[in-house]
Amino acid sequence: MEHTKPCVACKQQIPSGSSLCSVCKSYQRSWKNHVQYFAGIATLLALTISALFWVVEKGRSAFFSHENVVLVACNTLDTGAVIVNRGDKEVFISHLMLSMAGRDNRPWVAPVLTIDERLEPGQFLRRAFPTARVNSGTFVKGLSADDFEKLMIKASTGDPCTEAAFFSNSDGMLANVMQTTAGTLNTFPVTGYLEYWGQGDSYTRIPVTGMGFIRQAVAPCPLTKGQDGKTKDR
């Protein structure tokens, strides 16, 4: 007859040589049961902590996330527009518009840079404006208000030898132009905005302020046709 013994946990009779109860699955040495118990507690604790971190992260994303789109630099010459997403949400950059401020009913120009691109958190984006009309030019300076206004009108109405150059105040090249150009530069105020769409159904427009200059071609202007059909030098 097989010898039996009571299980240390459930007290059911089990073979005396058994190390594991066939009824309650308890080890017959108490320390093994303690190890199994604490291992189960540790596993449960690890799962609880993981779930807690998941809930906190989801809550932070839902209630504490933010959008932070920055126009790092912008000019219509070499740099173009440089934009960074410093927030923690993806955004859709729509377009950038600059404008000559305070022109009222006088001719003016407002370059628009279409972007239409998604920007992930932490990423930079750069887009160039269309090629400048004046390939090689100088910034005008020292003109009277009337003479400068005449050039502003030319630049705003498509004159091939004259163009307006726009700079945002955030563009480092603006300070460089002011420092390296001797004499008093003629300038005009620049306003505008950068438009982007976040996670909602509405767009955000970031105001842009800056300064503009008029550039004139250094080389002879291209020949154009007058109303009489004859070519003439601009």
If one counts the domains in the chain, the total is 2
Which stretches does DSSP call E strand in 101-160? 112-119, 124-127, 137-139
Q: How many CB atoms lie within 10 A of CB 21?
A: 18
For residues 103 and 205, membership in a common domain is answered with yes
pLDDT digits (tens, 9 = 90+) for 11-38: 777 787 777 777 777 766 765 556 566 6
Q: By mean pLDDT, which of 63-67, 83-87, 102-106, 207-211 is the weakest? A: 63-67
pLDDT band at 200 (very low <50, low <70, confident <90, very high): confident
Report yes or no on 217 lying in a domain.
yes
pLDDT of 175 over the 50 cut: yes
For residues 92 and 57, membership in a common domain is answered with no
pLDDT digits (tens, 9 = 90+) for 75-90: 999 889 999 999 999 9
For residues 160 and 91, membership in a common domain is answered with yes
- For residue 47, what are its two tokens? 């799962």
Report yes or no on 229 lying in a domain.
no
Report which of 76, 190, 167 is spatially closest to residue 129, judged by C-alpha positions. 76
How many whole angstroms from its chain centre is CA 20? Answer: 63
Q: Which of these three, 63, 88, 104, is where a domain ends?
A: 63
pLDDT of 41 over the 90 cut: no
For residues 99 and 46, membership in a common domain is answered with no
Q: By mean pLDDT, which of 54-63, 184-193, 223-232 is the weakest? A: 223-232
pLDDT of residue 56: 64
Domain that holds residue 101: 69-223
Most confident of 53-57, 85-89, 226-230: 85-89
Which stretches does DSSP call E strand in 61-155? 69-75, 80-85, 91-100, 112-119, 124-127, 137-139
